[in-house]
């Protein structure tokens, strides 16, 4: 018999409203699933003691008809974002024992709709670098092969969704922290337009690059979640507005040169991307090979801004707790100390220039298609040495420009997922999700489940 934990968000919501399923039963099924699988994937770091009480309250809301679209549905939250009454450690000993007193605004919105905030999921320390085996909580593991990483920093969010522990988790993305874990774990991750979702109540990494957004099992689910999370929804087109619509005539710029000639690109990834472009073409989209501005300047400018802003956020904490930080996090923060005001000013000028260049390159097109990461998830063993290991991605450019970007499964290599990325203009999440949903329906990549 199918567990309620395996129902999609739309299926579960329909059953809840029809009275054929209660939030209490759904939440208990999810708790049972977490109990069974979390020892293998280490996605959850905390389970809400009041999860069933939240579900009971949601059932009362459902009976009254006073509900939001996510009422009664269990949702996991990255341990970088405040949930009242739950731990708020940012994955660090620095905040050991810290309990959030209030909900972050995005979480308050979910709670007001009757969502069940079932627990907190793992993050790299302060959303910086990882995996770091020396931290208090065990590293989240890739459900497809626990010997491999999830990517970060929304590591637990991706592992929880891909492993079928929950259908929806909330994460953050400063340089690819939603999209890279989604790609590595075979989930769907959506970084929205900058400031579409409130960043308040999430411990900042780099405020001008930080984004809050959803990870889920399907494109439709991330679209519905983003609509529920959106601040001032009256100012935005719903991300779910075009789900299921044909994409005939949609003009997609295929940025193949951003990854295909890179020596770090896995040949399987290049093949998967070409097949994805072909599939989208068969669905009626107009695919054009384009040359985007070079990726390296985006990465360089974003890196300066990120490290400079991160150091400012941590100056006081480092002064009092330097010995409590993990070593990789301190090494990351040290980059910020090497920067001066002129470096940052030049990076911000580059941000303005590069954003304009990216939008100009999109002229005549609706979306960009490119890779998320250039290879499958690395094994944990690659991180055993003292030297930092960088996984090649094509994500941080769109933190710099603030454009919406969706990562979804595009295939597999050696039993591990590969991901593609669809990027739109600011506010065009509906187009991004429409194209992603059409691709998802035409392939079976998102339907595959890890052997848990």
DSSP letter for each residue of 146-215: TTB---SSSHHHHHHHHTTS-SEEEEEESSSTTHHHHHHHT-EEEE-STTSS--TTB--S-TTT-EEEEE
CA 229, chain centre distance (Å): 14
Of the candidates 72, 178, 69, 79, the residue with the CA atom closest to the CA atom of residue 119: 79
CB count, 10 Å around CB of 205?
A: 26
% helix, strand, coil for the chain, step of 5: 45, 15, 40
Q: Which residues pair with 409 in a beta bridge?
A: 419
DSSP tag of 67: -
Active-site option among 23, 90, 153, 155: 153
Active-site option among 78, 90, 92, 206: 78
Is 155 labeled as catalytic in the residue annotation?
A: no
Is 407 labeled as catalytic in the residue annotation?
A: no
Q: Where are the alpha helices (DSSP H) in 322-379?
A: 327-337, 341-361
Is 154 labeled as catalytic in the residue annotation?
A: no
Cα separation, 307 vs 190, whole angstroms: 23
Active-site option among 92, 109, 177, 446: 177
CB count, 10 Å around CB of 183?
A: 33
Kindly list the catalytic residues.
78, 153, 177
């Amino acid at each position: 018999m199918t567990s309620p934990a395996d129902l999609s968000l739309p299926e579960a919501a329909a059953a809840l409203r029809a009275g054929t399923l209660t939030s209490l039963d759904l939440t208990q099924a999810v708790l049972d699933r977490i109990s069974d699988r979390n020892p293998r994937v280490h996605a959850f770091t905390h389970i809400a003691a009041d999860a069933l009480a939240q579900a009971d309250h949601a059932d009362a809301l459902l009976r009254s008809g006073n509900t939001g679209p996510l009422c009664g549905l269990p949702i996991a939250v990255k341990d970088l974002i405040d949930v009242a009454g739950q731990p708020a450690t940012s994955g660090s000993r620095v905040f050991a024992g810290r309990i959030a007193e209030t909900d972050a605004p995005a979480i308050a919105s979910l709670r007001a709709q009757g969502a069940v905030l079932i627990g907190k999921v793992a993050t790299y320390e302060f959303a910086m670098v990882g995996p770091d085996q020396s931290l208090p909580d065990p590293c989240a593991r890739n459900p497809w092969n626990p010997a491999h990483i999830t990517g970060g920093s929304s590591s637990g969010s991706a592992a929880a969704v891909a492993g079928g522990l929950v259908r929806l988790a909330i994460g953050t993305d400063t340089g690819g922290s939603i999209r890279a874990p989604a790609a590595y774990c075979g989930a769907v991750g959506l970084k929205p337009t900058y400031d579409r979702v409130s960043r308040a109540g999430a411990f900042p990494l780099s405020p001008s690059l930080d984004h809050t957004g959803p990870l889920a099992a399907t494109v439709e689910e991330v679209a519905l979640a983003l609509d529920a999370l959106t601040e001032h929804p009256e100012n935005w087109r719903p991300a779910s507005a075009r789900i299921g619509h044909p994409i005939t005539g949609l003009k997609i710029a295929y940025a193949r040169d951003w990854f295909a000639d890179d020596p770090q690109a896995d040949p399987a990834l290049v093949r998967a991307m070409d097949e994805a472009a072909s599939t989208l073409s068969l669905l009626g989209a107009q695919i054009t090979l384009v040359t985007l501005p070079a990726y390296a300047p985006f990465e360089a400018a974003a890196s300066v801004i990120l490290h400079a802003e991160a150091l400012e956020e941590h100056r006081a904490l480092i002064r009092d707790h330097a010995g409590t930080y993990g070593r990789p996090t301190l090494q990351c923060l040290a980059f910020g100390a090497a920067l001066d005001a002129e470096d940052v000013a030049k990076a911000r000028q580059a941000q303005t220039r590069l954003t304009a260049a990216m939008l100009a390159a999109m002229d005549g097109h609706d979306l960009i298609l490119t890779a998320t990461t250039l290879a499958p998830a690395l094994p944990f063993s690659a991180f055993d040495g003292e030297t930092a290991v960088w996984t090649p991605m094509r994500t941080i450019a769109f933190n710099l420009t603030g454009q919406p970007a969706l990562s979804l499964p595009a295939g597999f290599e050696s039993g591990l997922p590969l991901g593609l990325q669809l990027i739109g203009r600011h506010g065009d999440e509906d187009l991004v999700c429409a194209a992603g949903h059409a691709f998802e329906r035409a392939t079976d990549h998102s339907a595959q489940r890890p052997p848990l």
